[in-house]
Structure 1
């Protein structure tokens, strides 16, 4: 009863401009007539006389058993009349709710609003996107909402965005070996791009330990880059690092989106391909509250080979290829740190001269022949 009462109270249609007054008045007249017709009436003198005669005949045993069934049927008919009136009222309620569902509390029809849909988390990326994310309403990021106005607001938080596919045996190597390759790739991505110490510019020891020391052209290169960065030895090729004296992360969330796949490699190996974009909201440490974002896409190809056939270190990753696309950070600065551009500050490094691109567009291939000149971004 409470539910019906509430629904009827919520749909006070006489005050709703969507239902014309003449329709409501006709409904009220029809309802009143139905109630009046079905209401009990005072019996006439003739009816009282007939009733008294039937009562005397019943006392003498002159009437058949069950003769009072007539009034019972009449009572049932009256109930149908009452439900008919209620049915009309309910029909009006349904019509009003259909026109104006906001009158009912909550979201009983599961429609949801467009704003709710726009802020709901995206499903996991399982294939290469075919286009860039749609444009977002222009919003200024703040300390309380550092991903405002960014498509990354719907992306996963940090490590939750790096999902490992289910492993299986490939390339003559076992399921366990494939699983090891996938987990080590995930660890490398996390320790290189999400670990708080790495982001603060500390030595990414856990990430380096995943790399095969036999492969000196990779691990050796990164060791040198961290120790003495320059144009030919840049730790940003693999690690995301900010100068803690100049920039800090806003909050503790980095948005992440991408996918990981694996197959049989060319060197008796499990070959893993990873393609992820990381979005870092940052603020300067000089007291400014202006928030900007640096967006980095990383593509990584690694392998775990059979040590019986190749000179590799068991349990370590061999890097076959890596690439990166760094956006909203100063170009041609080789001090080993990312330098985000803030509108309120003088830019670091030379002015961008390359083409404009969308840093959130994950449908673009990072091929070796792409234009890698220092360009501008269409959004951050």
Structure 2
């Protein structure tokens, strides 16, 4: 990598136990039989990030084509179809007997937005401590409850995850390489700004341009801003904004409530080029409903791993204080396979008038809540597969 010359400046009624047990067994069996679909994924490392300084490019200079042409496509494992395997015959009988047993019964006004009253799970769930290291296993199974408008996270391991930006906890800053503690702190705040605007901002989720997220990126990183502009303006397979931004088509779906569940961590270390590398690994859970009036709630789960780099402006031709994208992977749970219009398309069991469909799944079944594995581990990211739960 070229350097600049040295002289340049630097609670419900009970029902019979046998009925409930049979209901639970059938539910678990049918969930396995009707798991959601998931598309392909590949890994991308962003190279060619820096403009050369003066003189010839020495050996080791990292060159490469534009963003969309880097080593394959971005890591993307879109798992489509929602879990709709509840045996309808049993469900109808049980509901007819005791409608109030439905988790988040719409006739029960005990709570809103995942914060139920009268002893509902949302009211008693204890929040998890912040994640400081990769977990050793996937979250334990939870009761196969159906999400509702009042309880959109019912039946999800994310029920006791943090709400929104509260889940993005920055590590204590310290001097790294050529950067002071205050410079490191500023870079961490920049990374936080990107994560929040790209994945949690309601306007971004509804399809608006994530201007705040883009503003932290270095305009001098070759091709990056141009590619993001292209992806947002004219989405395509080779230019997909979902690689970095979470977006839903507001004509088709909307978020339920104002809470997105968040779980993950940020770490940083000195980079290979006297700079600083910020590694973020977060999973976001979005409860959504169709805009056609159906009350059915489903969830899309998105995991993102992004490496950002802060480089020394004294040595490299970069914009001081801005971040370069070094690597990014993403894993989408419950979004139609191979649809490249720039939006997530969750699958619902109820009829939809504008629901894109993709290829039938042919890949393995995975758990979108499992954060114990690296993205793409085991070679499971080449075909459209299924997810075990949403």
Q: What SS does the aligned partner of 2:223 have?
A: helix
Confirm or deny that 1:366 pairs with 2:385: no
Alpha-carbon distance in structure 2 between the residues aligned to 1:209 and 1:116: 36
Matches within 5 A, 1:26-105: none
1:207 CA drift (Å): 1.0
Aligned residues of 2:252 and 2:291 also touching (Cα < 8 A): yes
* Counterpart selection for 1:287 from 277, 281, 293: 293
Find the counterpart in structure 2 of residue 198 from structure 1. 204
TM-score (norm 1): 0.68
Size of the aligned set, in residue pairs, is: 268
Find the counterpart in structure 2 of residue 262 from structure 1. 268
Alpha-carbon distance in structure 2 between the residues aligned to 1:274 and 1:118: 30
Q: What SS does the aligned partner of 2:224 have?
A: helix
| Alignment gaps of 5+ in structure 2 | 1-118
Higher relative contact order (CA 8 A, sep 6+): 2
Aligned residues of 2:178 and 2:312 also touching (Cα < 8 A): no
TM-score (norm 2): 0.66
Q: What SS does the aligned partner of 1:206 have?
A: helix
| Alignment gaps of 5+ in structure 1 | 1-112
Alpha-carbon distance in structure 1 between the residues aligned to 2:377 and 2:222: 23
Matches within 5 A, 1:328-367: 328-345=334-351, 348-367=357-376
Confirm or deny that 1:187 pairs with 2:193: yes
Find the counterpart in structure 2 of residue 325 from structure 1. 331
- Worse-superposed segment, 209-218 or 295-304: 209-218
Q: What SS does the aligned partner of 1:279 have?
A: strand
Matches within 5 A, 1:97-116: none
Aligned residues of 2:217 and 2:322 also touching (Cα < 8 A): yes
1:340-375 Cα deviation digits (max 9, x unpaired): 011223662222221111000000111487322211
> What is the root-mean-square deviation of aligned Cα atoms in Å?
1.8
Find the counterpart in structure 2 of residue 42 from structure 1. none
Alpha-carbon distance in structure 2 between the residues aligned to 1:345 and 1:379: 21
1:123-167 Cα deviation digits (max 9, x unpaired): 111110000000001100000000000010000000000001110
Alpha-carbon distance in structure 2 between the residues aligned to 1:293 and 1:358: 14
1:222 CA drift (Å): 1.1
Find the counterpart in structure 1 of residue 284 from structure 2. 278
Alpha-carbon distance in structure 1 between the residues aligned to 2:372 and 2:184: 27
Larger Rg belongs to: 1
1:216 CA drift (Å): 3.1
1:223 CA drift (Å): 1.1
| Residues 237, 145 of structure 1: alpha-carbon distance in 2 compared, 3 angstrom cutoff | same
Find the counterpart in structure 2 of residue 246 from structure 1. 252
- Worse-superposed segment, 245-254 or 207-216: 207-216
Find the counterpart in structure 2 of residue 297 from structure 1. 303
Alpha-carbon distance in structure 2 between the residues aligned to 1:308 and 1:135: 52
Confirm or deny that 1:159 pairs with 2:165: yes
1:221 CA drift (Å): 1.4
Find the counterpart in structure 1 of residue 131 from structure 2. 125
Aligned residues of 2:145 and 2:155 also touching (Cα < 8 A): yes
Alpha-carbon distance in structure 1 between the residues aligned to 2:129 and 2:332: 25
Alpha-carbon distance in structure 2 between the residues aligned to 1:264 and 1:193: 26
Structure 1 segments of 4+ aligned residues over 6 angstroms from their partners? 115-118
Alpha-carbon distance in structure 2 between the residues aligned to 1:154 and 1:278: 13
Aligned residues of 1:126 and 1:259 also touching (Cα < 8 A): yes
- Worse-superposed segment, 320-329 or 346-355: 346-355
Q: What SS does the aligned partner of 2:379 have?
A: coil
Q: Is the helix fraction higher in 1 or 2?
A: 1
1:218 CA drift (Å): 2.3
Alpha-carbon distance in structure 2 between the residues aligned to 1:367 and 1:313: 32
